[in-house]
Amino acid sequence: MGWRSSALRPLPGLLLLLPLSLPRALREAHCPEPCSCPPDGALRCPGPRAGLTRLSLTYLPVKVIPSQAFRGLNEVVKIEISQSDSLEKIEANAFDNLLNLSEILIQNTKNLLYIEPGAFTSLPRLKYLSICNTGIRKLPDVTKIFSSEFNFILEICDNLHITTIPGNAFQGMNNESITLKLYGNGFEEIQSHAFNGTTLISLELKQNAHLEKMHNGAFRGVTGPSILDISSTKLQSLPSYGLESIQTLIATSSYSLKKLPSREKFTNLLDATLTYPSHCCAFRNLPTREQNFSFSIFENFSKQCENTARKPNDEMLLLHGALSVAHCFS
Ligand SMILES: *[C@@H]1O[C@H](CO)[C@@H](O)[C@H](O)[C@H]1NC(C)=O
Ligand SMILES: *[C@@H]1O[C@H](CO)[C@@H](O)[C@H](O)[C@H]1NC(C)=O
Ligand SMILES: *[C@@H]1O[C@H](CO)[C@@H](O)[C@H](O)[C@H]1NC(C)=O
Ligand SMILES: *[C@@H]1O[C@H](CO)[C@@H](O)[C@H](O)[C@H]1NC(C)=O
Ligand SMILES: *[C@@H]1O[C@H](CO)[C@@H](O)[C@H](O)[C@H]1NC(C)=O
């Protein structure tokens, strides 16, 4: 207590000391024990290391995180790599067979262009993987993680150069249930069977400003999702297949979404937040679950609904794009 305030008191002296002492302090912070971080080289953090549960690696000077970089760190629970502009590549098996590892964060590494397939392998207790604000061109391969944790959260955000979610992208990641927070990326397209083999609690696709196409079979082979957020995307339509499990649909600022699949497809919908009054019309007069709906406000749009072209047995409810951009917040 006392030493702290007295140490801070001679401020001019402290400022004089800073230029000398800071670089050394930072160098140590960049390469914590037991790691070695040769500039432009490869990171090595050999274990075992008793009591080491968290590894925070910031301002790394290395270019590569090689295969088996963390071999033997049996007790490590969390590895965070951030603010490292030198980092260019993460090799296959970089994170391999770390049986206690539950969180991996890779953030703000804008020159990280490659994460090789199999970089994340056999991590049975992994619960949270976050890869945000990197330069990668492809969705990272997560199919060899084989986690068996309940509600695994995968966060892929602000990766402006990833354009596609391919088929089976999340197969093998986790055998229980997952939340996918995939926002702010460069996605343009979601392919058929993208989420095949997963149990999806929540799928967040918001703020993928270039996302235009979601294949009609995107939800093939999926259990869920209960929550779907497609806000601030350019999606023009939703798949007509696989909407039964959605309980919460969020589509604010979805100005390109001019038509919605018929309301009968949303058999479990409890709550929806939509962009156009016309969207809301699609859900008016639902035969069941009315009590659960927060749509009463949309009753006032009924006139607009009546003016909306609709063919009785059409799968799609056709809506006019020229309607006002009123938000249908519930
Ligand atoms: C996980 O860590 C604990 C101590 O935190 C250790 O006793 C155990 O051996 C580790 N598990 C494995 C599989 O290495
Ligand atoms: C997931 O895998 C674990 C470990 O193999 C197993 O105990 C668990 O029952 C599996 N869960 C499901 C839903 O299959
Ligand atoms: C969907 O996943 C299953 C395994 O879960 C696999 O057998 C099947 O080939 C996949 N379908 C497609 C079209 O990729
Ligand atoms: C939906 O309504 C049913 C009965 O009408 C009720 O039992 C249930 O709790 C409601 N759910 C929510 C989320 O309000
Ligand atoms: C619908 O409009 C009427 C008259 O303007 C208003 O009294 C009522 O509160 C509105 N209903 C909702 C749910 O906003």
Chain segment 84-95, per-residue pLDDT in tens: 999 999 999 999
Shortest-distance ligand to the CA of residue 198: 3
pLDDT score for 265: 80
The pLDDT of residue 131 is 98
Measured from the CA of 296, which atom of ligand 5 is nearest? 13
Q: Is the CB of 221 under 6 A from ligand 3?
A: yes
| Alpha-carbon gap, residue 63 to 71, rounded angstroms | 18
Which atom of ligand 5 is nearest the CA belonging to 297? Answer: 13
Residues of the chain with pLDDT under 70: 1-30, 276-330
Per-residue model confidence (pLDDT) at position 82: 96
The CATH number given to 21-149 is 3.80.10.10
Give the contacts of 158 (CB within 8 A, at least 6 positions apart): 132, 133, 183, 184, 185
How many Å lie between the centroid of ligand 4 and the Cα of residue 329? 20
Cβ 292 under 6 angstroms from ligand 4 = yes
Question: Domain-by-domain residue ranges, the chain?
Answer: 21-149
Q: Is there an atom of ligand 3 within 6 Å of 193 CB? A: yes
Tell me the pLDDT tens digit for each residue of 95-123.
999 999 999 999 999 999 999 999 999 99
| DSSP conformational letter for 44 | B
Q: Which atom of ligand 1 is nearest to the CA of 74?
A: 14
- Residue at token pair 């696709």: 205
Q: How far is the CA of 317 from the centre of ligand 2 (A)?
A: 41
What is the pLDDT, as a whole number, of residue 282? 59
The whole-number pLDDT of residue 254 equals 86
168 lines ligand 3 (CB under 6 A): yes
User: From ligand 5's centre to the CA of 303, what distance in Å?
Assistant: 13
Which ligand places an atom closest to the C-alpha of 299? 5
- Mean of per-residue pLDDT scores for the chain: 81
Q: Of 103, 113, 125, whose CA–CA distance to 174 is shortest?
A: 125
Residue 133 confidence (pLDDT): 98
Distance CA 236, CA 230 (A): 11
Q: What is the pLDDT of residue 294?
A: 40
- Measured in Å, residue 218 CA sits from the centre of ligand 3 at 12
pLDDT of residue 215: 97
Q: Whose CA is nearest to atom 2 of ligand 1?
A: 75
Which atom of ligand 1 lies at the shortest distance from residue 100's CA? 1
Number of H helices, E strands in the chain: 4, 20
Cβ(75) to ligand 1 under 6 A?
A: yes
Nearest CA to ligand 1 atom 1: 75
Where are any strands of DSSP class E within 41-177? 54-58, 64-65, 78-82, 89-90, 95-96, 103-109, 114-115, 120-121, 128-134, 152-157, 164-165
Nearest-atom index, ligand 2, CA of 124 = 4
**Among protein residues, the one whose CA lies closest to atom 6 of ligand 2:** 148
Q: Which atom, in ligand 2's list, is nearest to the CA of 146? A: 2
CA–CA gap between residue 192 and residue 99 (Å, rounded): 33
> How high is the pLDDT of residue 281?
59
